[in-house]
Structure 1
Amino acid sequence: MPAIVGAIKVNNVSSSGVFLVGDAFRVAPFSDAKTFAGAGSFNTGDYLNVRSDRSATNVNDSDVFDQNMTATL
C-alpha cells in the first residue's frame, strides 16, 4: 500500500542512521559502539554541581568482543 507523505525537513542523518520515506519491507541499520564514562559524565542542565572526588572508570575489557554484529539481509 503506497504511503502519502507531506513536506519533509531533514536536519541530520548520522553515519549509522536510516532515512526512509514510503513503504519498506525491512530497515536494518548496523552500528556498534563502546562507551566508557566516569561519574558525572552525562549530566546535562544548568547550574550543575557534581562532586565525584573518588571516582575511577575501569576500561579493562578482557573479552574483547562484546556483541558481534552479523549481516542478516
Structure 2
Amino acid sequence: MPAIIGPVQIIHVSGGVVQFGDTVIISPKTASKSTSGQGAINTGGFIVTNNGLSASNVLDTNLIDQPIVGNN
C-alpha cells in the first residue's frame, strides 16, 4: 500500500539506501558501532546542544553484533 510522505530533508547519505514507497526487503550490507558522549553525533540543519558533563563508559561483551555474511 502506498504511503504519503511529508516534507523530508536529507542532508547527507554515505553508503546507504534511502527508500520511499513500497519495498519488500531492505538488508544492510555493512555494520558498524561507535560510541561518543552526549550530543556528539547530532546531525541536522541547525543544532544547538547544551551539555554539562559528558562521559561514555563502554563494556561490550558481544563478539558479533550483526552478522552480515550471506545477507544479500
Q: What band does the TM-score fall into relative to the shorter chain?
A: 0.3 to 0.5
TM-score normalised over the length of structure 2: 0.45
TM-score normalised over the length of structure 1: 0.44
